[in-house]
Structure 1
């Protein structure tokens, strides 16, 4: 997942706290590879997605 720092700062101002979720390990079939990540905001908004391909 790549991101634009300006866009990230604007999103933090809009949504508040953010967590970055990263796939650290997989076993068997997995929708995303190790290293895939997404941002999850305090209000439940998401950017990227470990269940989405091509994010």
Structure 2
């Protein structure tokens, strides 16, 4: 179902071996160094990357 939905929405195959997941955001009030920057008008805690992983398609 996910594959069909993504292909319909974006006109591209799911292609898990070529995908990466980035998770952004830290709890509000998290003390971040001044060097952490963000988009204009968006708090750095919202955009700071906290995790990244390659996807691995497996049968099962």
Q: What is the TM-score of this pair, normalised by structure 1?
A: 0.30
Of structures 1 and 2, the larger Rg is shown by: 2
Larger fraction in strand: 1
Larger fraction in helix: 2
Q: What is the TM-score of this pair, normalised by structure 2?
A: 0.29
